[in-house]
Amino acid sequence: MMMSFSLLSGSSSAAARTRLAALIFLPLVLIGGALGLSACQGGEEGSEVSDRVSALFEPLPEEAPVPEDNPMTEARVDLGHKLYFEPKLSRSGTISCNTCHVVGAAGVDHRAVAIGEGAREGRRNSPTVYNAAFLESQFWDGRAATLEEQAKGPIQAHVEMDLTKEEAVSRLRETGYLPLFKKAFPKADTALMFDHIADAIAAFERTLMTPGAPFDRYLEGNEAALSTKQKAGLELFMNSGCAGCHRGPMLGGQGYANFSHAKGDGDVGRAEVTGDEADRYSFRIASLRNVEKTYPYFHDGSAKTLREAVSVMGESQLGRTFNEKEVERLVAFLESLTGEFPSVPYPKLPRRPASSPDADVASGAGP
């Protein structure tokens, strides 16, 4: 579909990419429909359908790509695990990354829009943190290219955690985090610094993968992994044009597309980042992985159920009205994208007694 269902939770020219998506969209629909018709007329579902599926989709890798400048060492991941749950990174001391991206709730908060410091409401729905390492960009408008860059935003955002860089570093220093930063960044002249906070959080987030979905098993050759209804939903997903944008291992997550359902809203999406009028109401094409669990949907959380989201996407992006049976088939297929979530325990956080000497200050740790 031309937009994502967790629309549905930087490039040289984002506008060009949007226009390119529009140019290739119709051929993809026509080709997909022709292939689907051929498969039905031939009376065989076997190799031809499998070839079509494998050309569009891939199983989700079990490990995320790791940047050379931020290796996933055990010490760094452990530190990031603690920081992800650390409420002292918010002004009130009550909000952490896990508040909006709850690891025990598919990586979202199930609110229409996020709520941060002082009960201030954000403008957009919280996207899931699971598998975010595979996304081409972060945030609905793509303003962050990496997990490291993304991790810095909420801590400093007034509507979210509302701290300065210096305040964040000072709080962690006072709490007793310095030894953990030294262990995680042993070669750094200054271990406890704001950039390293983001690096550690990003390293931890790269462990939040959900492979092993029924659809992954199907892609790996297990025909019985999908039910008859789910296979029918997959056919409809391809033949209707949904796979024009939602393809690859993440079934989306790459590039941007205009979301006509949002036209007229105050949130103009990608255009806020690029300043290009052609990007107005364009948003990052989100992944459909675990979409069954990441309600409500769209960047504004306006669709409460997956059935509602499927119907809206059909009308706004494909120009067609799915009937009840078609909606049921598509939802059944989307449910096959739910993977195996890792067990993520609540970590023991450093809490240095108030009477302890301020050894961190003497170490020279700074922002």
**Spatial contact of 152 and 160, defined as CB atoms under 8 Å apart:** no
Q: 74-208: same fold as 14-62+210-335?
A: yes
**Tens digit of each residue's pLDDT (9 = 90 or more) over 67-78:** 999 999 999 999
Backbone angles phi, psi at 123, to 5 degrees: -95, -20
Torsion (CA) 118, 119, 123, 125 in degrees, nearest 10? 130
334, 271, 256: which is closest to 5 by C-alpha? 334
Give the mean model confidence (pLDDT) for residues 227-243. 96
**Spatial contact of 1 and 244, defined as CB atoms under 8 Å apart:** yes
Residue 279 has pLDDT above 90, yes or no: yes
DSSP 75: H
**Tens digit of each residue's pLDDT (9 = 90 or more) over 304-325:** 999 999 999 999 899 999 999 9
Cβ-based neighbour number of residue 4 at 10 Å: 30
- The residue written with tokens 């729905």 in the block is 125
1, 3, 2: which is closest to 300 by C-alpha? 3
74-208: CATH superfamily: Cytochrome c-like domain (1.10.760.10)
Give the mean model confidence (pLDDT) for residues 151-169. 97
CATH of domain 14-62+210-335: 1.10.760.10
- The residue written with tokens 């199930």 in the block is 110
Residues acting as catalytic residues: 160
108, 105, 130, 338: which is closest to 253 by C-alpha? 130
Listed range (47-61, 184-198, 221-235) with the worst mean pLDDT: 47-61
Domain locations in the chain as residue ranges? 14-62+210-335, 74-208
Residue 353 has pLDDT above 80, yes or no: no
Q: In Å, what is the CA distance from 354 to each residue of 89, 95, 109, 272, 357?
A: 18, 22, 33, 44, 8
Residue 126 has pLDDT above 90, yes or no: yes
pLDDT at res. 58: 96
**Tens digit of each residue's pLDDT (9 = 90 or more) over 16-45:** 444 444 433 433 443 344 333 333 333 334
How far is 333 from 6, CA to CA, in rounded Å? 15
pTM listed for this prediction: 0.85
367, 53, 52, 39: which is closest to 196 by C-alpha? 367
Q: Which tops the pLDDT comparison, 229 or 316?
A: 229
